[in-house]
Amino acid sequence: MERPELPLPQLHAFVVLAEELHFGNAAARLGIAQPPLSQQIRRLEDKVGYALFTRAPGHVALTPAGSELLPAARRVLTGLADGLAAARAVGSGSVGRLRIGFAASVALTVLPGLLRAFRDRYPGVHLDIREMTTVPQLAALHDRTIDIGLLREPPADEPELGFRTVLTEPFVAVLPSTHPLAGERTVQLAQLADSPFVLLPRTVGPALHDQIIGLCTAAGFTPQVVQHAVEWQTVCALVETGLGVSLAPASIRRIRLKGVAFRNIEPGTARTRVAVAWRENDQNPLVTHLLTTISQGLPAVP
């Protein structure tokens, strides 16, 4: 048997009348005249199939059917009010979940300040933070499994994605502390021509990898890469063992290993970019909030 649909205005009128047990008072609360209220109640009773109120001069009371309906009607109206409030909160971007992918080296630069600033502004938003290298971040943005990416050296040909540079930083040489150049304050890049290199594989960050190779080429040599590592922490650990040297963003200095020396390089004009990435057609207000947080400035990395 098909259940009758109960219109919400009639339920609202019913609950108010059940609380007042007086048509005049209930109509005043609802901001309507008494005849339309009576019509609402009659329509509801027609749908239920039974009287919900007994009516006598100067006396209104709930029938057993009305007493049974009242708690359910209150739950429906309360659930609707809660649902509307939740929908407004999500729509305004004051609550919800924001999925952020980030490259490990970004955790050494802008990520802590960005998360702190965003949480201060939007404490009701759950941040789902996922460590990912650049290429998986781009795929996850297209697949809609993350909402925001924080990556190095964004590609120039990614349709449907927007990019904004968050910071730039120079490169440094990463040397074993036993390396002959570790005692120098500045290293000429050409001086590393005969050293084996430990680098990130091109597959995880093509633009950054090509930039590092390009720096070496401009200095007159092609680096002899003896080992790849996906994360900068691993690169530094392998350099510490004496396996080779590397070139890395300057923020990698914050990875403190006793057996590793970080030295400025000459020429030192090249810089690497950290960028925020997002889907340009994304209607999620949380994405807009995060981009606004970035545009308002982030605290400097200590």
Maximum alpha-carbon separation in the chain: 105
224: left (phi over 0), alpha (psi -120 to 50) or beta: beta
8-state DSSP, 99:
E
User: Measured in whole angstroms, how far is the alpha carbon of residue 146 from the centre of its chain?
Assistant: 7
User: Pick the residue with more confidence: 226 or 7?
Assistant: 226
Q: Render pLDDT for 180-223 as a digit per residue (tens, 0 to 9).
A: 999 999 999 999 999 999 999 999 889 999 999 999 999 999 99
Query: Which fold is adopted by the domain 96-166+275-295?
Result: D-Maltodextrin-Binding Protein; domain 2 (3.40.190)
**pLDDT confidence band for 77 (50 / 70 / 90):** confident
**Assigned architecture for domain 8-92:** Orthogonal Bundle (1.10)
Q: Render pLDDT for 263-280 as a digit per residue (tens, 0 to 9).
A: 999 988 889 999 999 999
Asked whether residue 261 carries a pLDDT value surpassing 70, the answer given is yes
Q: Are strands 186-188 and 224-228 parallel, antiparallel or unpaired?
A: unpaired
Report percent pLDDT > 70 for the chain. 93
CATH 3.40.190.290 residue ranges in the chain? 167-272
**Assigned architecture for domain 167-272:** 3-Layer(aba) Sandwich (3.40)
Contact, 271 vs 165, CB < 8 A? Answer: no
Of the candidates 168, 131, 158, the one whose C-alpha atom is nearest the C-alpha of residue 277 is: 158
User: What is the per-residue pLDDT for 93?
Assistant: 64
Query: For residue 12, what are its two tokens?
Result: 């609202």
**pTM higher than 0.75, yes or no?**
no
User: What is the per-residue pLDDT for 142?
Assistant: 95
CATH 1.10.10.10 residue ranges in the chain? 8-92
Q: Could you check whether the bond before residue 267 is cis, i.e. omega within 30 degrees of 0? A: yes
